[in-house]
Structure 1
Amino acid sequence: MNYYQLTPDVIADALVSVGIYIDSGLMALNSYENRVYRFKSDTDGILVAKFYRPHRWSRQQIQEEHDFLFALDDAGVRVAVPLIRDQNSVFEHGNMLFAVWPSVSGRQFEADNLDQLEALGEQLGRLHTVGEQFVLHHRPQLSTDDYLLRAQRVLEQEARIPNRLRGEFFARLNEVVEKATALYRPKQQLTLHCDCHVSNILWRDGLWLLDFDDCRTGPAVQDLWMMLSGSRQEQLLQLDTLLAGYETVREFDAAELSLIEPLRAMRMVNYMAWLAARWSDPAFPANFPWFNTEDYWQQQIRVLSDQLQSLDAVPLSLTSWN
Structure 2
Amino acid sequence: MHDAHPLAHAYARLTPDLVLDALEHAGLRGDGRLLQLNSYENRVFLCHLEDGGSVVVKFYRPQRWTDAQILEEHAFAWELAQAEIPVVAPCVLSEALAGRTLGEFEGFRFSVSPRHGGRAPELDDAWTLQRLGRFLGRLHAVGRRQPFVHRPTLDVHGFGEELLAWLLNHGIVPADVAPAWTAAAQAALDGVRRCFEAAGPVAMLRLHGDCHVGNILWTDAGPHFVDLDDARMGPAVQDLWMLLSGDRSARTHQLSQVLAGYEDFMPFERRELHLVEALRTLRQLHFAAWLARRWDDPAFPAAFPWFGSSAWWSGQVVQLREQLEAMAEPPLAV
Find the counterpart in structure 1 of residue 211 from structure 2.
196
What are the within-5 Å matches in structure 2 for residues 67-216 of structure 1?
A: 67-85=75-93, 86=95, 87-158=99-170, 160-184=172-196, 185-205=200-220, 206-216=222-232
Does 2:256 align with 1:249?
no
SS of 1:196 mapped into structure 2:
coil
TM-score (norm 2): 0.92
Does 2:324 align with 1:308?
yes
TM-score (norm 1): 0.95
Tell me if the contact between 1:110 and 1:198 (Cα under 8 Å) persists in the aligned partners: no
C-alpha deviations, 1:59-91, integer Å up to 9, x for none?
A: 110001010000101111111011102321011
Find the counterpart in structure 1 of residue 249 from structure 2.
233
Counterpart-to-counterpart distance in 2, 1:95 and 1:265: 36
State which of 278, 289, 311 in structure 2 corresponds to 1:295: 311
Deviation at 1:265, TM superposition (A): 0.9
Find the counterpart in structure 1 of residue 3 from structure 2.
none
C-alpha deviations, 1:136-159, integer Å up to 9, x for none?
A: 111011111111011102221345
C-alpha deviations, 1:291-315, integer Å up to 9, x for none?
A: 1112211110100110110111111
Find the counterpart in structure 2 of residue 278 from structure 1.
294
Counterpart-to-counterpart distance in 1, 2:51 and 2:66: 30
SS of 1:151 mapped into structure 2:
helix
Counterpart-to-counterpart distance in 2, 1:186 and 1:257: 13
| More displaced 10-residue stretch of structure 1: 191-200 or 14-23 | 14-23
CA RMSD of aligned residues (A): 1.4
Tell me if the contact between 2:20 and 2:32 (Cα under 8 Å) persists in the aligned partners: no
Counterpart-to-counterpart distance in 2, 1:33 and 1:152: 20
Counterpart-to-counterpart distance in 1, 2:81 and 2:188: 38
SS of 1:14 mapped into structure 2:
helix
Deviation at 1:44, TM superposition (A): 6.9
Consecutive unaligned residues in structure 1, runs of 5 or more: none
C-alpha deviations, 1:33-66, integer Å up to 9, x for none?
A: 1111111112371211000001110111000101
Does 2:238 align with 1:222?
yes
Percent identity over the alignment is 42
Tell me if the contact between 2:153 and 2:232 (Cα under 8 Å) persists in the aligned partners: yes
Amino acid in structure 2 at the alignment position of 1:265 = T
Find the counterpart in structure 1 of residue 283 from structure 2.
267
Find the counterpart in structure 1 of residue 4 from structure 2.
none
State which of 68, 74, 79 in structure 2 corresponds to 1:60: 68
SS of 1:194 mapped into structure 2:
coil
Amino acid in structure 2 at the alignment position of 1:115 = W
Deviation at 1:179, TM superposition (A): 2.0
Counterpart-to-counterpart distance in 2, 1:156 and 1:233: 37
| More displaced 10-residue stretch of structure 1: 40-49 or 7-16 | 40-49
Counting matched residue pairs gives 318
Amino acid in structure 1 at the alignment position of 2:84 = G
Deviation at 1:95, TM superposition (A): 1.6
Find the counterpart in structure 2 of residue 4 from structure 1.
11
Consecutive unaligned residues in structure 2, runs of 5 or more: 1-6
